Structure 1
Amino acid sequence: MEFFSTDRLIIRSFRESDATDLFAYFSAPRVNCFADEQLTTLEEAVKDAGEKSKDQSQFAVCLKDNDLLIGNLFAMQEEDTFNVGWNFNGRYEGKGYAREAAAGLFDYLFVQKEGRRIYCYVEDYNTRSQKLCERLGMRKEGLFMEYISFVKNDDGTPRYENTLQFAILKKEWKKLNDVI
Structure 2
Amino acid sequence: MRKIETNRLLLRNFHKADSDYLLEYLANPRVNCFLEERICTLEDAINTIEKRKKDDSFIAVCLKEDNSLIGELFYLKEDPDTYSVGWNFNAKYEGHGYANESVKAFFTYLFTDLGARRLYAYVEDTNYRSQKLCERLGMRQEGYFIEFISFTEHEDGTPKYENTFQYALLSKEWLKT
- TM-score, normalized by length of structure 2? 0.97
Residue 51 of structure 1 aligns with an amino acid whose one-letter code is K
2:17 maps to which residue? 17
1:64 maps to which residue? 64
- 2:39 aligned with 1:39, yes or no? yes
5+ residue gaps in structure 2? none
1:145 maps to which residue? 146
**In 2, distance between residues paired with 1:5 and 1:169?**
23
SS at match of 2:143: strand
Aligned pairs for 1:74-85 within 5 A: 74-78=74-78, 79-85=80-86
Aligned pairs for 1:68-147 within 5 A: 68-78=68-78, 79-147=80-148
SS at match of 1:94: coil
Report the CA distance between 1:149 and its aligned residue. Answer: 0.4
1:52 maps to which residue? 52
Percent identity reads 54
- TM-score, normalized by length of structure 1? 0.95
Residue 45 of structure 1 aligns with an amino acid whose one-letter code is A
When the two chains are superposed, the root-mean-square deviation of aligned CA atoms in Å is 0.9
**In 2, distance between residues paired with 1:5 and 1:117?**
23
Report the CA distance between 1:16 and its aligned residue. Answer: 1.7
**In 2, distance between residues paired with 1:109 and 1:45?**
27
**In 2, distance between residues paired with 1:113 and 1:2?**
11
Q: Once the two structures are superposed, what CA deviation does each residue of 1:80-113 show, in whole Å capped at 9, x if it has no partner? A: 1111000000000000000001000000000001
5+ residue gaps in structure 1? none
SS at match of 2:3: strand
Structure 1 residue runs of 4+, over 3 Å off? none
Report the CA distance between 1:2 and its aligned residue. Answer: 4.0
Report the CA distance between 1:3 and its aligned residue. Answer: 3.2
**In 2, distance between residues paired with 1:34 and 1:55?**
18
Residue 11 of structure 1 aligns with an amino acid whose one-letter code is L
**In 1, distance between residues paired with 2:62 and 2:17?**
12
**In 2, distance between residues paired with 1:77 and 1:3?**
20
The 1:3–1:77 alpha-carbon spacing in structure 2 relative to 1, beyond 3 Å, is farther
Q: Once the two structures are superposed, what CA deviation does each residue of 1:10-30 show, in whole Å capped at 9, x if it has no partner? A: 100011211000000000000
Report the CA distance between 1:174 and its aligned residue. Answer: 1.3
**In 1, distance between residues paired with 2:46 and 2:56?**
18
Residue 26 of structure 2 aligns with an amino acid whose one-letter code is F
